[in-house]
Amino acid sequence: MEEMIKKLDETSHLILHRTPREDIRKGITVITSGEGMYVYDQDGKKYLDLNAGVTRPVAIGHGRKEIAQAVYDQICKLGYYTPCGFATIPPMKLADLLAEIVPGPINKFTFECDGSEAVESAMKLAKHYHHARGDKARFKVISRRGAYHGVNGMGLRALGTVNPMRHIMEPLAPGGVFAESPYCYRCAYGLTYPNCDMRCATDIGRIIEFENPEQVSIFIGEGVQQGFGAYAPPKEYWPIVRKICDQYGVLLIMDEVICGFGRTGKMFAFEHFNVEPDLITMAKCITSGYVPLGAVGCTDEVMKPIDSFVHLHTYGNHPVPCAAALKNIEILQKEKLVENSAEMGKYFLDGLRTLEHHPIVGEIRGLGLWTAIDFTVDKKSRLPFPADRLIRMVESAKAKGFIIKFMGCAIEFAPPLIICREEIDATIAMMDQVIASEGVPY
Ligand X SMILES: Cc1ncc(COP(=O)(O)O)c(C=O)c1O
Contact positions toward ligand X, by CB under 6 A? 55, 114-116, 119, 148-150, 222, 226, 255, 257-258, 283
Q: How far is the CB of 405 from ligand X (least distance, A)?
A: 12
Q: Helices 65-77 and 319-334, interaxial angle, to 10°?
A: 150
Q: How far is the CB of 280 from ligand X (least distance, A)?
A: 11
Between 283 and 364, CB nearer to ligand X: 283
For 441, residues 6+ apart whose C-beta sits below 8 A from its C-beta are 359, 360, 376, 377, 378
Q: How far is the CB of 304 from ligand X (least distance, A)?
A: 26
Between 24 and 156, CB nearer to ligand X: 156
For 64, the enclosing helix (H) or strand (E) is: none
Between 120 and 438, CB nearer to ligand X: 120
Between 328 and 376, CB nearer to ligand X: 328
Between 51 and 217, CB nearer to ligand X: 51
Between 55 and 396, CB nearer to ligand X: 55
Q: How far is the CB of 365 from ligand X (least distance, A)?
A: 18
Please state, in angstroms and rounded to a whole number, the distance separating the CA atoms of residues 174 and 167: 14
Please state, in angstroms and rounded to a whole number, the distance separating the CA atoms of residues 361 and 355: 7
For 209, residues 6+ apart whose C-beta sits below 8 A from its C-beta are none
For 196, the enclosing helix (H) or strand (E) is: none
Residue 193 forms beta bridges with which residues?
A: none
> Phi-psi region for residue 319, left (φ > 0), alpha (ψ -120 to 50) or beta?
alpha
Q: How far is the CB of 351 from ligand X (least distance, A)?
A: 25
Q: How far is the CB of 95 from ligand X (least distance, A)?
A: 20
Between 222 and 363, CB nearer to ligand X: 222
Is there a contact between 401 and 411 (Cβ–Cβ < 8 Å)?
A: no
> Phi-psi region for residue 288, left (φ > 0), alpha (ψ -120 to 50) or beta?
left
Q: How far is the CB of 148 from ligand X (least distance, A)?
A: 5
Please state, in angstroms and rounded to a whole number, the distance separating the CA atoms of residues 111 and 383: 42
CA-based nearest residue to 6, from 53, 33, 41, 49: 41
